[in-house]
Amino acid sequence: MSQGSSHRVVMIVDRGSNPFEMGVATELFGLRRPELGIPWYDFTLCAPGPVAMHAGMFTMSGIPGLEAVEGADTVIVPNRPDPDNAPDERVLAAIRGAAARGARLVSFCTGAFTLAAAGVLDGRPATTHWRWADLFRARFPSVRLEPGVLFVDDGDVLTAAGSAAALDLGLHLVRRDHGAEVVNAVSRRLVFAVHRDGGQRQFVERPVPAIPDTSLAPVLAWAQEHLDQPLTVADLAARAATSAATLHRRFQAELGTTPLAWLNAERVALACRLIERGELRLEAVARASGLGTPANLRTRLRRQTGLSPSAYRARFAASRPEV
């Protein structure tokens, strides 16, 4: 993404769209972030006309029409709380036009139904909410549905699973556009963990704990400040003044992951920031991030980002020397 100009993101709102997904996009791409010191997104909502939101909660009016899509770099399509309701043909035409000129297309939750109805997912991988997976397969057999993951990044077309996964995919887009340093700043402001990647499983009918647990924030913040040290799950448990088994349960309940997986993800995120800042020595990156060796760094970076250290540097570092 060019650092000299804003990237224009346009979200289409259609009849029955969910306000949550609209709020996610507005928060991530529409909120001004002068503290970052970089050009941020130019965000716009648009609609084919006044539209009633999901369950008639309110009506959107007075926003730009679909012509706003014509100049968008990224187009976020409307979700369908009831996928049996067909999208507006004008919306589908706008999506097809955006795809034809090479805009990046994004869907949240059942928005994959909208992309598929526009014909832009044929032969491509995508995901949607697990509840609608069977219906999606029956209706769009040419799409390679991956129903278990949080989101799918297929380059210029990206799809998220449930409503909360919109945050995961939105932060992933920020990371793609601006790198790990910026996305970590954004996630801290959101007070939302940035560690989940697209390959993680959706939470399918996951039970809610009967008694809310206390926040893990203090121990997480402490661990993030000591990633260069040989931390173990036992160290985290001691800091939280609990047993390793209880800590494990708390991580699963609050973050949906294990303490070790979270710790490894945080180490990789720190390694990414160091690479982006221009650190060329893999030994130094591995040591400072607590990953130990360049071999372990390569393995974990590729597992989490799909890229080798040199490929990551080429894509995200401010200066781009050869490894």
Residue 257: how many CA atoms within 13 Å on its side-chain side?
19
Contact 165, 20 (CB under 8 A): no
Rounded distance between C-alpha atoms, residue 159 and residue 169, angstroms: 8
Beta-carbon count within 10 A of 201 CB: 13
> pTM for the full model?
0.65
Q: pLDDT tens track of the chain, all 323 residues? A: 444 458 999 999 988 888 889 999 999 999 989 889 899 999 999 999 888 887 777 888 889 999 999 999 999 997 877 788 788 899 999 999 999 999 999 999 999 999 999 999 999 999 999 889 999 999 999 999 998 788 899 999 999 997 788 998 999 899 889 887 888 888 888 877 654 555 444 433 333 333 334 578 888 889 988 999 989 999 999 998 999 999 999 888 877 789 999 999 899 988 988 888 888 899 999 999 999 999 999 999 888 877 888 888 887 765 433 33
Sign of the alpha-carbon torsion through 17, 7, 194, 217: negative
Nearest to 203 by CA among 137, 109, 130: 130
- Alpha helices in the chain, H assignment, sequence order: 19-25, 89-100, 111-117, 133-139, 165-178, 180-190, 217-224, 233-239, 244-255, 259-276, 282-289, 294-305, 309-316
In the DSSP assignment, the letter for residue 201 is B
Which strand (E) or helix (H) includes residue 45? strand 42-46
Whole-angstrom distance between the N-terminal and C-terminal Cα of the chain?
22
Contacts of 212 (CB under 8 A, 6+ apart): none
